[in-house]
Amino acid sequence: MIPYSVLDLSPIVEGSNAAVSLQNSLKLAQHTEQLGFERFWVAEHHSMPGIASAATSIVVGHIASGTQKIRVGAGGVMLPNHSPLVIAEQYGTLDSLYPNRIDLGVGRAPGSDGITTKALRRDFANQDRFPEDLAELQAYLSDYDPLQKHVRAIPGEGTNVPIWILGSSLYGAHLAAELGLPYVFASHFAPDALGQAAKVYRHKFKPSNVLDKPYFMFAVNVFAADSQAEADYLMSSHQRGFANLILGKPGLLPQPVENIEQHVDGLTLARVNSALSCTASGTLDKVRAQLAGLIDQYQPDEIMINGPIFDQEARLKSFSLAAEAIQAIR
């Protein structure tokens, strides 16, 4: 059976706040841990009213402290926003507190708009230093070498926290393959290059001291319920929220609606549905069939499930059904 994991942005829903969202994320982690999910990742986004996971390392610690065995990590840290030394210290500290349970997914996108990016990076001069920053991060987390290291990450040094490359284009596929690192594709919101990225990563992969063969994971949205109508209803929150983002009006996760076509204009809805096309939605049997089709088509080593659902109980149930669906795939 293919391993399955969780991607959570700790969504802040209309009428609620970040404190409730972070507690809901912990409850979801505890729930999915019991269901057999492999890992639980949170993502770095900034200046987004509907996302509570901006301080990603703190949220990772919050989740890890309330769970026992599920791996917890970043999906991901947007590395150009940070000093590699600081990230090494943060995730080295997390690994020291929760040994062998911490993952570090990294990406090169800002996770924000241009103005926020400038506020985050201060002296950012539009140069792409992602490969150099990544090499520096790897060095800080590796074993101490007195001939090479002058600056040391304490904690961090020698932890060798697993690093994953995240991407929504071919850039990350090429880099992950060149470095022999595991690769995750963000198909839950940018599915167009999924197949090509998987092919490039596998074809170009070079074995490393981390992996001797490729390890590929992609993200899929899942909205599972007792009926198709209910699943459509649950998904409408994400559609409305994504539409607001496309229109330059990011906000809290909206309440679900019965007829999405009456709340989002046709052109925008078409763009939303295209971006969210890597989605399994419906009853248990339909979600199983859709996930089986995606797994058969892209042959991942693992899949990551994203489920931004307005109602917490419905969200927990959707992940329960998703786990049941995956377990039924042979």
Under the phi-then-psi rule, with left for phi > 0, alpha for psi from -120 to 50, and beta for the rest, what region is 282? left
Q: Please report the pLDDT score of residue 113 as a whole number.
A: 64
197 closest CA partner among 212, 179, 177: 177
User: How do residues 183-219 score in pLDDT, each as one tens digit?
Assistant: 999 999 999 999 999 999 999 999 999 999 999 999 9
Q: Please report the pLDDT score of residue 47 as a whole number.
A: 83
The residue extents of the domains of the chain are: 4-223+279-327
pTM over 0.75: yes
User: How do residues 281-310 score in pLDDT, each as one tens digit?
Assistant: 999 999 999 999 999 999 999 999 999 999
Contact 39, 72 (CB under 8 A): yes
> Is the bond into 254 cis (omega within 30 degrees of 0)?
no
- Domain 4-223+279-327 part of CATH 3.40.50.1370: no
> For the chain, which ranges sit under pLDDT 70?
110-114, 116-117, 120-127, 330
Q: Please report the pLDDT score of residue 137 as a whole number.
A: 96
Question: What separation in angstroms does the CA of 128 have from each of 131, 133, 147, 285?
Answer: 8, 9, 28, 45
Question: What separation in angstroms does the CA of 80 have from each of 53, 87, 118?
Answer: 17, 11, 11
Q: Please report the pLDDT score of residue 150 as a whole number.
A: 81
Hey, what amino acid is at 272?
Answer: V
Token pair for residue 226? Answer: 């007792």
184 contact partners, CB below 8 Å, separation of at least 6? 75, 76, 105, 164, 165, 166, 167, 216, 217, 218, 219, 304
